[in-house]
Amino acid sequence: GEDVEQSLFLSVREGDSSVINCTYTDSSSTYLYWYKQEPGAGLQLLTYIFSNMDMKQDQRLTVLLNKKDKHLSLRIADTQTGDSAIYFCAETSGGSSASKIIFGSGTRLSIRP
Amino acid sequence: NAGVTQTPKFQVLKTGQSMTLQCAQDMNHEYMSWYRQDPGMGLRLIHYSVGAGITDQGEVPNGYNVSRSTTEDFPLRLLSAAPSQTSVYFCASSYSVGPPEAFFGQGTRLTVV
């Protein structure tokens, strides 16, 4: 079945780059996502990548997809205190079945001064 | 545009009580879904709907019922609350085509004692 795995915690120094990793099992995944959850809030979409792409860059965010290894990563350049949050990797399969978004357990990113 | 609205934000129930968590969206989204979030387990899909009158089970449906009589509303019913249902519940909605970005409500924190 579908499964998405990520490490639970990451700590980086302010100004450094953060790299959050994720592995997934569904090779038919159409879209892969990164969502951000700030304390006490719902999830907000950060970025997504279509499964036929290798890389997507959006300002400080870079998403890398290795489809062969089913590995997805999110790089945040120049990490700031406002980036402290839980980051969820997620996938959908079957094209437009948006309701079946499968989430990982989330990686809590903390920023050291 | 209110987006996705969940009520209540907080709720304490006694074991065996029933209640309904409300979810409404004003974006004319076809897809709606309910997730529960537990520490270290990410978001798990409870039930989802691909349109009015159509619902289906997700990963953890036991103890919950849903209905979708209108496009806007997707209530989640707890039939007989159990302590294992203590969690944070999120409702999400999305369009049926294109990158299916899910919009999330702010969550309902439910405690069953």
Q: Quick: pLDDT tens for B11-24.
A: 999 999 999 999 99
A39 touches chain B (CB under 8 A): no
Spatial CB neighbours of A82, under 8 Å, sequence gap ≥ 6:
none
Chain B, nearest residue to A89 by Cα: B42
Grade residue A79 by pLDDT with cuts at 50, 70 and 90: very high
pLDDT digits (tens, 9 = 90+) for A32-64: 999 999 988 888 999 999 888 899 999 999 999
B13 close to B19: Cβ distance less than 8 angstroms: yes
Confidence class for position A72, pLDDT limits 50, 70, 90:
very high
The B residues from 2 to 41 touching A (CB cutoff 8 Å) are 4, 31-33, 35, 40-41
